[in-house]
Amino acid sequence: MNFLRGVMGGQSAGPQHTEAETIQKLCDRVASSTLLDDRRNAVRALKSLSKKYRLEVGIQAMEHLIHVLQTDRSDSEIIGYALDTLYNIISNEEEEEVEENSTRHSEDLGSQFTEIFIKQQENVTLLLSLLEEFDFHVRWPGVKLLTSLLKQLGPQVQQIILVSPMGVSRLMDLLADSREVIRNDGVLLLQALTRSNGAIQKIVAFENAFERLLDIITEEGNSDGGIVVEDCLILLQNLLKNNNSNQNFFKEGSYIQRMKPWFEVGDENSGWSAQKVTNLHLMLQLVRVLVSPTNPPGATSSCQKAMFQCGLLQQLCTILMATGVPADILTETINTVSEVIRGCQVNQDYFASVNAPSNPPRPAIVVLLMSMVNERQPFVLRCAVLYCFQCFLYKNQKGQGEIVSTLLPSTIDATGNSVSAGQLLCGGLFSTDSLSNWCAAVALAHALQENATQKEQLLRVQLATSIGNPPVSLLQQCTNILSQGDKIDRRGSKIQTRVGLLMLLCTWLSNCPIAVTHFLHNSANVPFLTGQIAENLGEEEQLVQGLCALLLGISIYFNDNSLESCTKEKLKQLIEKRIGKENFIEKLGFISKHELYSRASQKPQPNFPSPECMIFDHEFTKLVKELEGVITKAIYKSSEEDKKEEEVKKTLEQHDNIVSHYKNMIREQDLQLEELRQQVSTLKCQNEQLQTAVTQQVSQIQQHKDQYNLLKVQLGKDNQHQSSYSDGAQVNGIQLEEIGRLREEIEELKSNQELLQSQLTEKDSLIENLKSSQTSGMNEQSLATASARDSEQVAELKQELATLKSQLNSQSVEITKLQTEKQELLQKTEAFAESVPVQGDSETVRAAKTTDVEGRLSALLQETKELKNEIKALSEERTAIKEQLDSSNSTVAILQNEKDKLELEITDSKKEQDDLLVLLAEQDQKIFSLKRKLKDLGYPIVEEDELESGDQDEDDENEDADKDQDSI
């Protein structure tokens, strides 16, 4: 300490010690001192000098500081001083008063020291291992130092961390630190680490970074949070932007659903702080990263669907239609909604159904278009609305048809109460603001993009230009405005209106021969175009000349020669005479050579620094690229080549027609074959069913034949060996035996019935006893025993009832069996009466036999009748037994209910006892606490045991006294 005082004091007291000498002595002290306290004090002194004398400390002390980090890891204080000193050396944090030159010098100095530090990769690995220390004085300066290294030489440090074992995982632990300072600086460290490095971005994402960052954002209050939310959002953008793997992981992890609460801002007129605007702006940009048009189409489509399903799109549309939203947030929300619905039919349909909260409600598309054609709105907002409209129509033929239909005569609102999208576009197309003209023309062109049906439908649109004059078509009105040129005084760019109209006409006429015929039908259009192309105008007009050449080339290439005065050959001859083919091709090339053409072709969003730069549309640049080559070839082709090409086209069309015809035939034949296959399969099933039925019937017939033959043989034998009388006696004997057996079974059934009746009587008496015992008073123990006994008796009753039911079922089965046997006996007797042959020599014998058989048959019938009566009586008794069983069941149910009530009462009483025990325990606890308090206050407390022992002692003393007195 004396040494340090001398060093620090010498620096200000005398000039004999320069700063370099002081730093050198401190470095020697760090290197040579054996005492840890001396080294710690020396490093602390270097830390205090490192900000002011950055260069000297860095040159002389860096090696010693790294050595301290390697050897003195057991002392967190010296490690913290060393890390702080290295941070001051490498960091470029300068005060605001520093001049620009010195700032540049400090940046060079920081990068040089960083290069020296990372030259040995072990230094970075050492720093990563120090970050595992939980001590605040080690971990925090380590995080700051590593962040500074990444800011100075990011790619080199990233590569070292990437190859370091578990390097990225160690840094991810910072997000879970309970100390907010370290956690927040850890977010900044990961920002620098993940910048422009896809491999590290993937590792960080799979280390559960999304979950942790979203948790931090939620804890900090979503969009209402502070700078920490902003840092987390920037880190999320680093992880997701241009990284398809992480985007897919983010979507599959259901993290898109967790973004919805970010946008629950409500309809607020105030409370939009600068930080909240920044946070919400970054949140909207994060949504756009997931659905950017530059992403793979499949990934973008899946994210769009997920955003609709979780309600994120609905939430964004709510912000879109809310009041009090700042202008920049509203603009970015429009751009975000645009990309969420772009090319997704479900989202586009939903957006078409959104209404603004006005009276009467208006579609959101109409409200946005009103802003687009309103020249008082900000330029960036108008560009955003145009982009939203383009995205709504992108690959959306249904939406294109809805927009065009608002211009057709049959759908226009005659009352004029509501303004349609088509009317707004026409109003913007013919206004005196050149930017409104351009936006409306481009929007209308997108309604026709790759949709030949709507191009033909738009030819039907008629416009009333003035009162008294006949209406003109929309196509004619566009060409009229185009031919007037600069005659109309407009606000804004001179060529913007004409460029917009020419882009609309080129889009309209391409791939639509009918529209080309309508355009050429106006005799003034072709001379106007050739005149514009042939003139030698300034550079500003060269773009208009190029677009006129493109329009004329489209009129040639897509011409079906239906108009004799303007066939392909005549138009090419006109170009060769008035313009020249080379000159025409040169003017056509002015479009793709324009400086704003390449800028518009890069991305779909119209992003221009000023309204004057708003010249080209992204989709139109694709059209130019597609048509420029084919129009050049069409201009140089001769008439013979055109004829050959037309013949080839016709041949190809015929071939296509033949192919389509055969395709239709094959399709029809396939359908017929499928139907026939189904019919064959059904017929096979029916055939199999019929064959099985036939087999069954054949087997049944064979069985009947066998039975018939057997009976026939038996009857033949009886006729030969026995007389008719003996036959009849035999039959009667068989029947008498069966009747006797039936009577025995009936007697057995009667005995079973009497047994059941006695059992029922016993059960009734038992139920009466239970009722009487239940009504008598019981205490808690008797209730419990009675309920247990009742439950056992009820169980026994249920079991016995089950046995009674099974016996009744068996009885009913036996009765049914007896009835069937009776029917078989009747059939046998009738068959026998018909089939028995009566043989004898005289009619007297036959009559006697017949009378005997008839008597026996009548006796059988009488017995059968008696059996029927007995069976009827049995069935009645069975019904009575069932009624008695039902009544016993109801009695059992009543007993069960009463048993449940008793159990509930017992449960309540037990619960009351438990509550009393709890209250007594609480009372004892309170008494104990009060005794402890009295004891703490100094009052003497006599315990119950002591009182009892004291009483016993007093009794003993009294007994001894009595004994002494007796002895005296």
CB 554 within 8 A of CB 548: no
pLDDT score of 734: 43
Tokens 């089939």, residue? 835
For residues 179 and 212, what is the distance between their CA atoms, to the nearest angstrom?
15
pLDDT greater at residue 425 or residue 414:
425
Taking residues 396-401, what's their average pLDDT? Answer: 94
pLDDT for the residue numbered 928: 81
Average pLDDT over residues 559-572: 89
User: Which residues is 491 bridged to in the sheet?
Assistant: 433
Identify the band that residue 657 occupies on the pLDDT scale cut at 50, 70 and 90.
Answer: confident
Per-residue model confidence as pLDDT tens digits over 596-645: 899 999 989 988 888 888 999 999 999 999 999 999 988 887 666 666 66
CATH number of the domain located at residue range(s) 401-409+420-637 in this protein? 1.25.10.10
CATH code for 208-353?
1.25.10.10
Whether residue 556 is predicted with pLDDT greater than 80 in this model: the reply is yes
Q: How confident is the model at residue 812 (pLDDT cuts 50, 70, 90)?
A: low
The pLDDT score that the predictor gives to residue 16 is: 33
CA distance 765 to 668: 84
Joined together, the tokens standing for residue 387 give 């982009």
The helices-and-strands tally (H runs, E runs) of the chain is 41, 4
Contact 334, 387 (CB under 8 A): yes
pLDDT value of residue 595: 87
Question: What is the pLDDT, as a whole number, of residue 308?
Answer: 96
> Residues 54-92: pLDDT tens digits?
899 999 999 999 999 999 988 999 999 999 999 999 988
Phi-psi region of 938 (alpha: psi -120 to 50; beta: other; left: phi over 0): left
Judge whether residue 487 has pLDDT over 90: no
Distance between CA atoms of residues 43 and 85, nearest Å: 8
- Low-confidence winner among 82-86, 738-742, 831-835 (lowest mean pLDDT): 831-835
pLDDT of residue 693: 84
How far apart, in whole angstroms, are the C-alpha atoms of residue 128 and residue 160?
A: 11
CB 504 within 8 A of CB 462: no
Q: What is the pLDDT of residue 819?
A: 64
Rounded distance between C-alpha atoms, residue 46 and residue 24, angstroms: 10
Tell me which residue has tokens 């050396």. 89
Most confident of 318-327, 425-434, 438-447, 520-529: 438-447
Work out the percent of the chain whose per-residue pLDDT is above 90: 45
**Digit-coded pLDDT (tens) for 665-693:** 888 888 888 888 888 888 888 888 888 88
Residue recorded with tokens 């009776």: 822
HEC string of 717-777 equals: HHHHHCCHHHHHHHHHHHHHHHHHHHHHHHHHHHHHHHHHHHHHHHHHHHHHHHHHHHHCC
Q: What is the pTM of this model?
A: 0.65
Is the Cβ–Cβ distance between 333 and 367 less than 8 Å?
Answer: no
Q: Mean pLDDT: which of 201-210, 750-759, 812-821, 903-912 is highest?
A: 201-210
For residue 8, what pLDDT band results from cuts at 50, 70 and 90? very low
Angle between helix axes 121-130 and 54-71 (nearest 10 degrees) is 70
Which range is most confident: 171-185, 789-803, 850-864? 171-185
pLDDT of 102 > 80? The answer is no
